[in-house]
Chains A and B, each alone.
Chain A
Amino acid sequence: MKARLAMTALAALFAAITLAPLLWMVAVSLMQPGEAGRFPPPLVPADPTLAHYRALFANQGMGLFLLNSLAISTLATVLALIFTLPAGYAFARLRYPGRDTTVRVLLALLLVPGQIGMLPLFLELKALGLVNSYAGVLVPWLAGIVGIFLVRQYALAIPLDLVEAARIDGASEWRIFRHVALPVMRPAIATLALFVFLGSWNDFLWPLIVLSDHDLYTLPVALAALGRERSQDIELMMAGSVVTTVPVLVLFLALQRQFVGGLLAGSVKG
């Protein structure tokens, strides 16, 4: 009992440390211009205002960047699911020559830092005419190794009996994937979707490299540009940060339930 109490206290402490900057970000975004720069910095806005949010959307084109980010992250998620799920499943549950070698090579490639690939990838996309377009931003998300590996590990837990029973029941490999494997893999799908959405939403470096057209900017890129222009305007910056952070927080809370496993319960033995 004592140990549990201590654990709870510790968890609460860490939660407070993590949450404090986020809460202050929201507080500052609601302060009057210049209020956050005072000393000591106030924790709560004395006279809350939404002026900075209005300014963001009316003067800085934040609406467009928000739409850009939403579009890119949604597309990245959908495309990643389309390519990654069959790949991960095939690596786990189909038998063909060279399968395990391919998996090992892919895993070895994980050791190569992503930044090393950025320049060659940029040149490649330039040759293909995909620079300064959504397509160029999306390419790295199509079939990430980590995602494929995540799906593969989850698919390995699908009982072989289930796949074989479906084969005997006359299901084609595609239908086994569609009707037997996918429903069982829902937690993995949710994890992968969230992972890709968050990753592409928060991604800064790659969109910065690929996108030169201001109108195509995603939120993080736009926010950085805003920071360069208006570095004194802390309250405006914080409002921009809130707009960038809140959608993914909402998404995370919405999908949280999906992570709970137990979908396999009752399929075999029990």
Chain B
Amino acid sequence: MPADGERDVPGATLTRIGKRFGAVQLFDGFDLSVGDGEFVVVVGPSGCGKSTLLRLVAGLESPDEGTIHIGARRIDRLPPGERGVAMVFQSYALYPQMTVAQNIGFPLRMAGRPRAAIERAVARACDMLGLSDLAGRRPAQLSGGQRQRVAIGRAIVREPDLFLFDEPLSNLDAGLRARMRREFAELHARLGTTTIYVTHDQAEAMALADRIVLLRDGGIEQHGTPEELYHRPASLFAARFFGQPAINALPARVVQADAEGMEVATGHEGERLVLPPRAAGPLPAGSRVTLAVRPEALAAAPGGGRVRFAPRAVAYAEWFGGERHVGLGTGDGALTWRAMGGPAPETGAAVTLWAEAHDVLVFAPDGQAMASAPLPRV
């Protein structure tokens, strides 16, 4: 374990990675750079290549093209054990016949460290992870959370340059998952080791990441801080990937647009919305766009400069204690409103909602975000 952050913490760089599986070209010219000590969470739907990415870095798969570096050291030709990476698997992958202490000490034993040094390192890791009382047990005698900690212990004793986590929380129940998530965050704050963490869970990604990398079909759809991806998605795909309940997406048609603003018609009973102009310039009338607004950006109160949505009938209301999810309208015009407090709306009642203009995102026909033009300075 590093001594009080004095250790040099290298980052990782993947350059022009190509990887093909049979007829499927998963990665083609893929680049990713992870900063020193950065906690990067790679997310995406299944099949997007996120697990393969980890396996390439770990050395469990070889890239067809491209290079992988940790700091200045090129690792893509090295066997997994010599790369200076440690990986925590979704299944934990603990050695069943070994005790907790033997599991954690295994990498050091393989490295030929002296027995006394191994015992010291194992004791320190057990102490850090609260496993000291369990050191003599076997994996079968541990709970899911304890097994996960043993897997982490096995990763940290090696003092790797890079941590790789492959969906480490997906086998745990919800409560334990939240607790382990915080433990990961604390562990990272303490060790400062560069980390690539793969998950399909958008909430986990937002809670843990310094930076999120959103993958889609072997390419980076968008990367940035959790806030950037949530509030300024680069595409409709990114907008839809984050947030629960999911972002509202309304298909719409441009009625007219100029330097002053744009007027669009949605599929909801002749609804017309007036939005600020787009930075890329006005779209021709008739263009199909998608409007997107987060459920919590909607409000039942009018305000200066707010966009007004036409009244919609309440379809359902679900109360979660503290917040209420209200479904309004039907078909293409349906909206979900995440309301904080307030009385329960009656089913069938018409409700008018407003949103700040900058919270209503516009996506071009190809799904790319159309940023609003910078506001004129007053």
Closest to B112 in A: A170
Interface size class of B (residues with CB under 8 A): 20 to 34
Given the complex, which residues of B lie within 8 Å of A171, measured CB to CB? 81, 106, 110
Given the complex, which residues of B lie within 8 Å of A264, measured CB to CB? 96
Query: Do A180 and B111 touch (CB < 8 A)?
Result: no
Instruction: Say if the beta carbon of B368 comes within 8 Å of chain A.
Output: no
Complex CA–CA separation, A33 to B271 (angstroms): 111
Of A166, A172, A265, the residue contacting B96 (CB under 8 A) is A265
Complex CA–CA separation, A264 to B94 (angstroms): 10
Query: Do B80 and A168 touch (CB < 8 A)?
Result: yes
Query: Do A168 and B106 touch (CB < 8 A)?
Result: no
Complex CA–CA separation, A263 to B97 (angstroms): 7
Of B91, B107, B141, the residue contacting A169 (CB under 8 A) is B107
Given the complex, which residues of A lie within 8 Å of B89, measured CB to CB? 161, 164-165, 268
Instruction: Say if the beta carbon of B60 comes within 8 Å of chain A.
Output: yes
Complex CA–CA separation, A269 to B154 (angstroms): 16
Q: A167 to nearest B CB, angstroms?
A: 4
Given the complex, which residues of B lie within 8 Å of A165, measured CB to CB? 87, 89, 93, 95, 154
Query: Do A169 and B140 touch (CB < 8 A)?
Result: no
Given the complex, which residues of A lie within 8 Å of B141, measured CB to CB? 266
Complex CA–CA separation, A264 to B97 (angstroms): 8
- 8 Å CB interface, B74-90 against A: 79-82, 85-87, 89-90
Q: A158 to nearest B CB, angstroms?
A: 10
Instruction: Say if the beta carbon of B26 comes within 8 Å of chain A.
Output: no
Query: Do B106 and A169 touch (CB < 8 A)?
Result: yes
Q: A166 to nearest B CB, angstroms?
A: 8
Instruction: Say if the beta carbon of B251 comes within 8 Å of chain A.
Output: no
Query: Do B111 and A159 touch (CB < 8 A)?
Result: no
Of A169, A265, A266, the residue contacting B81 (CB under 8 A) is A169
Instruction: Say if the beta carbon of A230 comes within 8 Å of chain B.
Output: no
Given the complex, which residues of A lie within 8 Å of B79, measured CB to CB? 167
Instruction: Say if the beta carbon of A183 comes within 8 Å of chain B.
Output: yes
Query: Do B96 and A167 touch (CB < 8 A)?
Result: no
Of B60, B85, B92, B142, the residue contacting A164 (CB under 8 A) is B60
Instruction: Say if the beta carbon of A175 comes within 8 Å of chain B.
Output: yes
Instruction: Say if the beta carbon of A239 comes within 8 Å of chain B.
Output: no
Complex CA–CA separation, A209 to B240 (angstroms): 76
Given the complex, which residues of A lie within 8 Å of B154, measured CB to CB? 165, 169
Of B81, B94, B111, the residue contacting A267 (CB under 8 A) is B94
Could you say which of A172, A263, A264, A269 has the most chain B C-beta atoms within 10 Å of its C-beta?
A269
- B253-271 interface bits toward A, Cβ cutoff 8 Å, 1 = contact, 0 = none: 0000000000000000000
Instruction: Say if the beta carbon of A162 comes within 8 Å of chain B.
Output: yes
- 8 Å CB interface, A249-265 against B: 263-265
Query: Do A167 and B60 touch (CB < 8 A)?
Result: yes
Given the complex, which residues of B lie within 8 Å of A266, measured CB to CB? 94, 96, 138-142, 147
Complex CA–CA separation, A268 to B170 (angstroms): 13
B residues near A (Cβ < 8 Å) are 58-60, 79-82, 85-87, 89-97, 106-107, 110-111, 138-142, 144, 147, 154, 158, 171
List 4 other contacts, CB 8 Å, given A167-B80, A170-B81, A170-B82.
A161-B91, A263-B96, A266-B147, A270-B144
